[in-house]
Structure 1
Amino acid sequence: MRIFTQEIIVAPQHIDIQNRVSNLCYVQWMQDLAINHSTVQGWGVERYEAEGHGWVVRQHTITYKRPALAGDVITAATWVAELASRQSLRRYLFWRAADRSVLAEAATVWVY
């Protein structure tokens, strides 16, 4: 299992009307992390297209633990937890860099 991490700085545009990171941002970050992780492993979008392959999301789940606020630096991690011939389960973990408190745990089921 190869764990991919990336730093995210919470910008004003990430903040919702409750003054914390919008849940829509987490879904976008999950997609971005998956693409970046896959690219680092040699499977970028261009390679999938050239090979006539691709993945489609079947399900997202997110459990929010603590709010993320403007200016927070978040460490986001992702890895493929299960891989089958036509489906994979990708997990995610988001934590605040300053105090290492877990902000959210998530998963995506991808189908081919």
Structure 2
Amino acid sequence: MRVFESIITVTEKDLDELNHVNNIRYVEWVQEIAKQHWLKNASQDTLENYFWVMTNHCIEYKNEAFLNDSIKLKTYIKKYSGATCTRVVQITHNQTNALLAISETKWCLINVQTKRPARITSEITDLFM
């Protein structure tokens, strides 16, 4: 499996009324890193013919993050089956390595023209495994 990482810094827009990162923001980060991973690895032809939609999302919140914290997002594909894959995203504090949240999401590959699920080909699995 190929792991993709990104580091971000918590800004004021990420905070809720308790002055820690809003839970909704973690969900957005999960979507953003999945998209970055796809765009980084997929060929232009693949990008023109397929896109992913999230069909199931489970996230566990473990610790808080605060303004100016450096956050590491790490993602990889756990498994493939037919037209779907399961993606894991681990969100940690970059300095302390404390686990902030962990997510498992199920994604479905969609054909751009038909807007219907498309079987994941070996060409696509090779991008991430």
TM over 0.5: same fold? yes
Distance 2:46 2:31 in 1: 17
Which residue of 62, 76, 79 maps to 2:76? 79
SS for the counterpart of 1:55 is strand
Equivalent residues in 2 for 1:1-112 (5 A)?
Answer: 1-43=1-43, 47-48=46-47, 50-51=48-49, 53-112=50-109
- Structure 1 unaligned segments of length 5 or more: list them: none
Percentage of matched positions with identical amino acids:
28
Is the radius of gyration larger for structure 1 or structure 2? 2
Give every structure 1 segment of 4 or more consecutive aligned residues whose post-TM-superposition deviation is greater than 3 Å: none
Aligned-pair Cα RMSD in Å:
1.5
In structure 1, what residue type is equivalent to 2:87? R
Count of aligned positions: 109
TM-score calculated relative to the size of structure 2: 0.79
* Superposition deviation, residue 39 in structure 1: 1.4
- Structure 2 unaligned segments of length 5 or more: list them: 110-129
In structure 1, what residue type is equivalent to 2:88? R
* Superposition deviation, residue 40 in structure 1: 1.5
